[in-house]
Amino acid sequence: MSTEVYCAEGICSICESDTVFIAYDSWFRDHLLCKKCNSIPRERALMAAIQKFAPTWREMVIHESSPSIRGTSAKLKQEALNYIETQYFPNSPLGIMVQGFQNENLSKLTFDDNSIDLHITQDVMEHIFEIDDCFMEIARTLKPGGMHIFTVPLVQGVCPTVQRASLDDSGIQYWSEAVYHGNPISDEGSLVVFDWGYDIVHRIYTASQMPTIILQIDDIYSGIRAEYNDVLISTKAFL
């Protein structure tokens, strides 16, 4: 039988109710669960940021790439009036529905210019080869004042970002040992392309002209305490 390493009462930013946060593993990022909605700390941190910086999110046009089946994704899908969930199926045309999702490549979005209020990604940006194109496309499709609110593990911290792999005409070039994270639509997982550091904000601005802030939330009463729990917010300037 597993032994609890943490258990305490609190209030969850996702199910917005009194709950108990419980963990049976000291790696809180994946294991400190809300007993009511099963969310994890980075999801609760993301939702807290959305509530703070985009309080009218229920009325906004929201696009989420690679959503989860729980946590923030489930809340946005249930409560936002204009929520678009997408996955990337490389062998299908972009913009069509595939397996219940709109098929979108973050580096080549089919959305119109200035059409999205809020882009959401959760642990996606470490897996994209054409990362500068991705940041440019997010900026292109955001409305003036719109935001990209997202999580990404900043494993390098104050050290420079490390690129682990690249893609060219001959295929994937591995610069270091291949590392994969879970992928909800592929048993193969998703290859980690970047080990990001805080210098990601410079990369985003250089590609898109969007300034980015990094939120570091530590609020154990809200179940927001974990490793690599940062939330980033990039904002498109008003015209």
Confidence of residue 184 (pLDDT cuts 50, 70, 90): low
pLDDT of 187 strictly over 70: no
- In angstroms, the CA 171 to CA 60 distance is 39
Instruction: Name the percent of the chain lying above pLDDT 70.
Output: 97
pLDDT in the model for residue 185: 57
pTM of the predicted model, to two decimals? Answer: 0.95
The token pair at 128 is 């994209």
Q: Which distant-in-sequence residues (6+ apart) come within 8 Å of 234 by Cβ? A: 135, 138, 139, 147, 148, 150, 204, 208, 210, 211, 212
pLDDT in the model for residue 189: 76
Mean pLDDT, range 124-139, rounded to an integer: 97
Domain 40-235 class in CATH: alpha beta
**Domain range list for the chain:** 40-235
Average pLDDT, the chain: 95
DSSP string computed for 103-166 = E--TTS--SPTT-EEEEEEES-GGG-SSHHHHHHHHHHHEEEEEEEEEE---TTBTSPPEE-EE
CA angle centred on 111, ends 51 and 121, rounded to 5°: 40
